[in-house]
Amino acid sequence: MLKIFKPCDFHVHLREGQLLKYVLKENNKNFQKILVMPNLIKPITNKNILSKYRSFVLNNNNNNTEILFTIYLNQDCSIIDLKNMVNEKLFFAAKLYPLHATTNSSSGVKDIKKMSKYFEFLENNKIPLCLHGEHIHENDDPYEREKRFLDFELSWLVKNFKGLKITLEHITTKDSVDFVKSHKNIAATITTHHLLENTNTFLGNFLRPEIFCKPVIKSVNHQKSLLNAALSGNSKFFFGSDSAPHLKNRKFNEFCCAGVYSTKYSVSNILELFYTSKKSNNLNKFLTINGCKHYNLKFDNTLISYSRKKDFTFKKYSKFKNDSLINYNHFKNYWSKN
């Protein structure tokens, strides 16, 4: 048995409509706080879109999960509009996507060095900046994108905006682990699938579209670095699943879209990982404390018991309308709430 605080997921995609209702229910079961990403089909770039999205999400939030909203920061955002939203506490953090980095990022930013006025605004108003950290350039190798982002964009950002609180999202490389460790005011989220998979399990034998995501899964050496960062309890690293619900027919398709839906079993997978690595003592740090510390949030410290079921039959698919969602799971054993 393991006793932990109810976890937080500091990076999740809920999408919209019926799918949102479905996914939010799973989040309600598992998490005390969720940080919700803004890359809807029409991204959340202004107060009007945010207000509608907020009420839809909050109306469907059936328990006391704290929902932290983000705004989609790009060159179309208006500083006055941002200021109004800050005054009304409508959003918690700003998310920046490089142009064409991932699903629904066609409104992303081409040159972050032209975004200085926004970074100054965030810095002055103590709003955290969440980054999809990939440098996207024609002919650049997808495996090099994260490293190049550190060299070309992130180094510039931390040098010029020293007071800006930054979260480097879903890191996948040793380079990012080292960068985050060696700079102030920056922390990183790590996903379940980047902790548990590597290039061998992704495409070393058969190609597994269900774990195709951006940034793409890296080699075992990078994976080891992520595992060390997470398992050590280092306060700069915490859980953000990047769980993204895509329907099966969009994943097993001629053009497989990027994203892994992990919400259903992510807590179980993280518990099994820490338990089998004999690091259960650091579970609360990775799943709750570190993220809350980074974001200055209070959290519920009621302990919840989980017990381990051996050789559990996992539900590979969850039915949704005429299609289904593919549930990501890695282990044979399942940790369920008592």
The dihedral region occupied by 213, where left means phi > 0, alpha psi between -120 and 50, and beta the remainder, is beta
Which stretch in 156-164, 219-227, 229-237, 240-248 sits in contact with Zn ion by CB under 5 A?
A: 240-248
Q: Is residue 9 close enough to count as binding Zn ion by CB under 5 A?
A: no
**Contacting range for Zn ion; rule: CB under 5 A; set: 27-35, 66-74, 242-250, 297-305:** 242-250
Are the beta carbons of 96 and 131 closer than 8 angstroms? yes
82 neighbors 91 (Cβ within 8 angstroms): no
Q: Which of 167, 284 has the CB closer to Zn ion?
A: 167
Token duo for residue 206: 């058969």
> What gap in Å lies between CA 10 and CA 169, rounded to an integer?
9
Question: Which residue number has the CB closest to Zn ion?
Answer: 242
Residues 15-44 binding Zn ion (CB under 5 A) are none
Output 134 or 242, the one with its CB closest to Zn ion: 242
> CA-to-CA distance for 164 and 121, rounded, in angstroms?
9
CB-based contact 198:217 (threshold 8 Å): yes
Query: Is residue 189 within 8 Å of residue 170, measured between CB atoms?
Result: yes
Omega of the bond leading into 215 within 30 degrees of 0 (cis) = yes
Tokens coding 20 = 């949102």
134 binds Zn ion, rule: CB under 5 A: no
Which residues participate in catalysis according to the annotation? Answer: 242
Minimum distance between the CB of residue 37 and Zn ion, rounded to whole angstroms? 5
Give the β-pairing of 2-5 and 303-309: antiparallel
Instruction: Find the part of the chain contacting Zn ion (CB under 5 A) among 86-94, 110-118, 237-245, 316-324.
Output: 237-245
Min dist CB 316 to Zn ion, Å, is 22
Quote the strand ranges of 135-182, DSSP E.
166-168
Check binding of 242 to Zn ion (CB under 5 A). yes
In three-state secondary structure terms, 26 is helix
Residue 191 or 290: the one with the smaller Cβ distance to Zn ion is 191
Nearest to Zn ion of 197, 242 (CB atom):
242
Nearest distance from C-beta of residue 172 to Zn ion, angstroms: 12
At closest approach, how far in Å is the CB of 44 from Zn ion? 14
How many residues form the binding site for Zn ion (CB under 5 A)? 1
Nearer to Zn ion, 26 or 242 (CB): 242
Residues in the site for Zn ion, rule: CB under 5 A? 242
